Structure 1
Amino acid sequence: MAAEAGGTPRVRAPQRNQEWVLTLLPAFPLVLLVMRLWYASRQDTQTLLLLVQYVSPLGLLTTVLLTLVWVLPAVVLAGRVLGPLYRLSTRRSFWVARAADRVPDWVVAVAVGVGLLGWQLRFLPTLLMLTLAVAGLTVRERRPLDRTWIRAVCLVVPVVSGVLVLLLFRPAIMQALAQRDVATLILLTAPPVLAPLVTGPVPASAAPLVVHGLTWTLAVLFPLVAGVVVLRSPILPLTAMEIATKPNGGAEQVTIGYVIASDDRLVTILERSGAVRFVRNDLLVSQVLCPEPGAVPHTTVDLHQWNVERSALSWLAPAPVPIPPDSRCEGRPASPADLAPGEAADSGAGPRR
């Protein structure tokens, strides 16, 4: 049936030896981990070796996995769109189309679910557009002669979904328009409008330029964006410490840094400046775990008090317990309000850990 609809049978290209591509799968996270430690060490080799010795690989892998929450759905959906799009437009195949054939439908469904939870609210219309594009192109390939299914999945569903999304996001769209937030306005309105246009093939003459251009653009952008996110993610606990100049003395200074290691004699700290400092336990007066400074929102647009830069996962998860700001996290000595009742009585009498 596919051969009759297209006029020429679809011939699968001979498989080439591409096992080398599989080596990139574990290599890419490993490169990200090494780059994160190199970035944290401020390009100092000795500090890098110290971090490699003490930093837990599990903490680094957690950072990479949190990054993959939004990267993997984008890769899966983009591949399932670009591969069939090229094949339907040109009646030829290339490596992205062959890779898309190996992605089962249940993986696409899981990717969409992960995207719903992990992507920011302002990117959900784009997720809907990609999902509709995958559904429309899949129907065109598998049911090329079933005009009823093609009209329903490629035209009716995208139009109805686009209208519903625009109505649902109308408060946020009006806020973005009033605040002249062009980026947010485009992200919320363009995908629902373009959804009916991305469920079918493009002209054969433009298909190689469009598909190959998007493929290589995404191949370059995804690693760069993922690398930037990993490099900015914390890998060590941020701690503020009051340090004395003599054993069991009063606090003379406050040091803010990342705790690398701690034993019976010393605490190893990586200061924010990149310098490594070793502090004796008998000089440590008190310490407190400081909250990591959160990212500054780029927009104040919200939908029913849900900021468009937040994901559904962060919205559904329990809110963090509000903690009063601690003076030590700001580089100042602890005030009586910062110390627990037991610490307030003996704040200058010895180390508190």
Structure 2
Amino acid sequence: MKTDRGRIDAPGDDERGGEPVRGDRRVKDAPRNQEWLLALLPAFPLVLLVMRLWYASRQDTQTLLLLVQTISPLGMLSAVLLTTVWVLPALVLGGRLLGTLYWVSTGRSSWLVRAAERLPGWVVLLALVVGLCAWQLRFLPTLAMMALAVAGLTVRDRFPGHEELRATVCYALPVIVAVLSYALLWPAITAAFAARDVATAILLTLPPGLTVLLTGPVPEAPARVLTHGIAIAMSVLTPFLVGVVVMKAPILPMIALQFGDGGSREVIVGYLVASDDQMSTVLGREGTVRFIPNDRLQSKVLCPDPGDVPRTWVNLHGWYVEQSVLSWLVPAGQPGPADPRCQGRVVDDPTLG
């Protein structure tokens, strides 16, 4: 007797009383008692937002209450979404890849296989497009490796009798993509080795060559440990990685205010919490809150985001490996001279800004 995937059931494995026997065959019944997952979906971003405000307030309760009262939840949510969008392609492609790999290797069902089956093709394609736009250049070979592996394993699973299609998608296509990748990335690869940037060199070199090894089954004995171990590690580490990124994400505009009266002048550099007709509320970088009357303000200026310090100067024809496709294609304005007020220095002309 054959199952829906064409596998032959073990002896004695049939339906008794209308209920499928749980043997080696895949059981597609929906998992039960999973309502707690629905509760975690909105709770996790909320916890991240509260922890971000707690971190910005330097663990001071009164400052935290002030930030909660004045900061727009939509602005905080936008900052969280922008900083965590890179996680979605990794989770979607990784889940689909590991679940399909386990099924192709063993023919058995598990929670990982069921999770992979519940990911529609258009979701996988959308995750690939998001990753292509949001991931840095040095991670794009890994993205291509995961996408080609998913395609090859899907062909093995759904078209087991089409030998020509399997040879094309599982072997020929990964080899062609690997050759093109090495030809295109060769200047960046040589620059990474010359700069002794081991991490970038590995990310640009290994994934294209490993792709052809991931389009087929693995030995059945270590398949469960390999696939489920990686999936559990991803599930455990992803919230911590997202939390670290969110903790450093800006949620308030950074400004510099020069104020004073008479011969006494001072400059405060911090984050603008609120501003009205009477005063401006500023959260200093050291975590203190100051209320500046507007009649004492002489000037204020919006300070540019310092951004992350580049860890490597390896680039591909001007496209640095720490830049995404969007940041490379979208023209960026030329930075002007640094305003001395953003460095905490007083300017003589109070009409500036």
TM-score under structure 1 normalisation?
0.91
Q: How many Å apart are 1:5 and its aligned residue?
A: 5.7
Q: Which runs of 5+ in 1 are unaligned?
A: 345-351
Q: Distance in 1 between matches of 2:107 and 2:128?
A: 28
Task: Say yes or no: does 1:199 pair with 2:215.
Answer: yes
Q: Kindly indicate whether the alpha-carbon contact (under 8 Å) linking 2:26 and 2:107 is maintained by their aligned counterparts in 1.
A: no
1:87-112 CA-partner distances (Å, limit 9, x unpaired): 12222111121111111111111111
Provide the aligned C-alpha RMSD in A.
1.7
Q: Kindly indicate whether the alpha-carbon contact (under 8 Å) linking 2:103 and 2:113 is maintained by their aligned counterparts in 1.
A: yes
- 2:155 corresponds in structure 1 to 139
Question: Aligned match of 2:126 in 100, 110, 123?
Answer: 110
Change (3 A) 1:86 1:4: closer
Q: How many Å apart are 1:323 and its aligned residue?
A: 2.2
Question: Aligned match of 2:281 in 268, 272, 279?
Answer: 268
Q: Distance in 1 between matches of 2:234 and 2:113?
A: 15
| Corresponding residue SS for 1:169 | helix
Q: Judge which range, 127-136 or 19-28, deviates more.
A: 19-28
Identity, % of aligned pairs? 57
Question: Aligned match of 1:303 in 316, 327, 334?
Answer: 316
Question: Aligned match of 1:283 in 283, 290, 296?
Answer: 296
Q: Distance in 1 between matches of 2:232 and 2:5?
A: 32
Q: Kindly indicate whether the alpha-carbon contact (under 8 Å) linking 1:132 and 1:199 is maintained by their aligned counterparts in 2.
A: yes
Task: Say yes or no: does 1:212 pair with 2:225.
Answer: no
Change (3 A) 1:4 1:108: closer
- 1:172 corresponds in structure 2 to 188
Q: Kindly indicate whether the alpha-carbon contact (under 8 Å) linking 2:256 and 2:302 is maintained by their aligned counterparts in 1.
A: yes
Counterpart residue identity of residue 220, structure 2: A
Counterpart residue identity of residue 174, structure 2: P
**Number of equivalent positions:** 337
Counterpart residue identity of residue 176, structure 1: A
Task: Say yes or no: does 1:97 pair with 2:110.
Answer: no
Q: Judge which range, 263-272 or 124-133, deviates more.
A: 263-272
1:297-336 to structure 2, matched below 5 A, reads 297-336=310-349
Task: Say yes or no: does 1:222 pair with 2:235.
Answer: no
Q: Kindly indicate whether the alpha-carbon contact (under 8 Å) linking 2:98 and 2:231 is maintained by their aligned counterparts in 1.
A: yes
Change (3 A) 1:2 1:134: farther
- 1:65 corresponds in structure 2 to 81
| Corresponding residue SS for 2:316 | coil
Change (3 A) 1:250 1:242: farther
- 1:11 corresponds in structure 2 to 26
Counterpart residue identity of residue 98, structure 1: R
Q: How many Å apart are 1:265 and its aligned residue?
A: 1.4
1:227-281 CA-partner distances (Å, limit 9, x unpaired): 111111111110111121x4xx355111111110111212111000001111111
Task: Say yes or no: does 1:25 pair with 2:25.
Answer: no
1:46-61 to structure 2, matched below 5 A, reads 46-61=62-77
Question: Aligned match of 2:91 in 75, 79, 85?
Answer: 75
Q: How many Å apart are 1:208 and its aligned residue?
A: 1.2
Q: Judge which range, 171-180 or 92-101, deviates more.
A: 92-101
- 2:256 corresponds in structure 1 to 240
Q: How many Å apart are 1:294 and its aligned residue?
A: 1.5
Q: How many Å apart are 1:2 and its aligned residue?
A: 7.0
Counterpart residue identity of residue 342, structure 2: C
- 1:292 corresponds in structure 2 to 305
Q: Kindly indicate whether the alpha-carbon contact (under 8 Å) linking 2:83 and 2:249 is maintained by their aligned counterparts in 1.
A: no
Q: Distance in 2 between matches of 1:207 and 1:67?
A: 33
Change (3 A) 1:2 1:297: farther
Counterpart residue identity of residue 21, structure 1: L
1:118-168 CA-partner distances (Å, limit 9, x unpaired): 000000000000000110111111011211111111111111111110111
Counterpart residue identity of residue 64, structure 1: V
Change (3 A) 1:316 1:303: same
Question: Aligned match of 1:36 in 52, 55, 60?
Answer: 52
| Corresponding residue SS for 1:255 | strand
Q: Distance in 2 between matches of 1:322 and 1:297?
A: 16
Q: Distance in 2 between matches of 1:268 and 1:39?
A: 18
